């Protein structure tokens, strides 16, 4: 503004001083471990497409990659021997489970190192706009895990799931930031606020127990659940 229209600097300052509208924060969706396991089991691995879908879902859950980042992964960026992958975008290297490497290996055998790992039905690289894999398999997984019917599952939901599960496993928040490719730690701190299970465990450590009362599980107390959600 100072370079192109200096006469409007004071006016611009007045506009910028207007406070942002306060709004209710949207709860970040994620899947519990049994729900994620049910989703991973949903693809029919007897088919080529089912094998690819399972490998892709497992890759998302393992790496915490964004949908677009997973679509861009090249075969040359997979280190099968070392069990890691180079993620572009917010560039970083992520280790992979042996099971993930085992599912990805059949997809890349005999192909050019410059080719994309994940292809669509026509043999072309998938795009972030063409990825609907979770939605299709969520409907199938609902038979085993009815709670999935209440959740909207997208590739980004799986990314949130990965971060939440790492946090529950005791992984340092700064390590999660680097793994997910967050520029600011403030973004990663969101996951520390959303996990009801971890809030309950923290509260239980400070609980004053009464030996004359029967101990109740926190999930059986609606008032406590409402309190934890408000934290």
Residues tagged active-site: 66, 90, 156, 159, 182, 191
With CA atoms as reference, report the closest residue to 159 among 171, 175, 144, 176: 176
Alpha-carbon distance of 147 to 142, in angstroms, equals: 7
Contacts of 205 (CB under 8 A, 6+ apart): none
Count of all residues that appear for the chain in the document: 231
**Chain centroid, CA 163 distance in Å:** 6
CA angle, 167 then 37 then 158, to 5°: 55
The set of long-range contacts for 169-172, using a CB threshold of 8 Å and a minimum separation of 24, is none
Q: How far apart are CA 61 and CA 45, in angstroms?
A: 17
Q: Where are the alpha helices (DSSP H) in the chain?
A: 9-16, 33-41, 48-63, 67-72, 98-108, 133-141, 155-168, 173-180, 185-188, 190-194, 196-205, 222-230
């Amino acid at each position: 503004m100072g370079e192109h229209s200096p006469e409007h600097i004071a006016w611009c300052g007045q506009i910028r001083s207007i406070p942002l509208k306060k709004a209710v924060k949207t709860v970040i969706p994620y899947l519990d471990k049994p729900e994620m396991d049910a989703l991973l089991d949903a693809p029919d691995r007897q088919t080529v497409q089912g094998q690819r879908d399972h490998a892709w879902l497992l890759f998302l859950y393992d790496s915490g990659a964004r949908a677009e980042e997973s679509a861009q992964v090249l075969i040359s960026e997979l280190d099968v021997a070392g069990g890691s992958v180079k993620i572009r975008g917010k560039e970083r290297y992520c280790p992979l489970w042996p099971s993930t490497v085992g599912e990805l290996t059949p997809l890349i055998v005999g192909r050019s190192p410059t080719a994309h790992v994940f292809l669509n039905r026509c043999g072309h690289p998938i795009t972030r706009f063409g990825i609907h894999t979770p939605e299709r398999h969520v409907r199938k997984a609902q038979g085993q895990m009815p709670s999935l019917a209440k959740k909207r599952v997208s590739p980004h939901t799986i990314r949130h799931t990965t971060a939440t599960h790492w946090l529950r496993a005791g992984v340092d928040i700064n390590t999660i930031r680097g793994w997910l490719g967050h520029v600011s730690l403030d973004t990663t701190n969101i996951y520390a606020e959303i996990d009801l299970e971890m809030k309950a465990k923290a509260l239980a450590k400070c609980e004053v127990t009464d030996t004359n009362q029967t101990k109740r599980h926190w999930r059986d107390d609606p008032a406590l659940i409402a309190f934890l959600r408000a934290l």
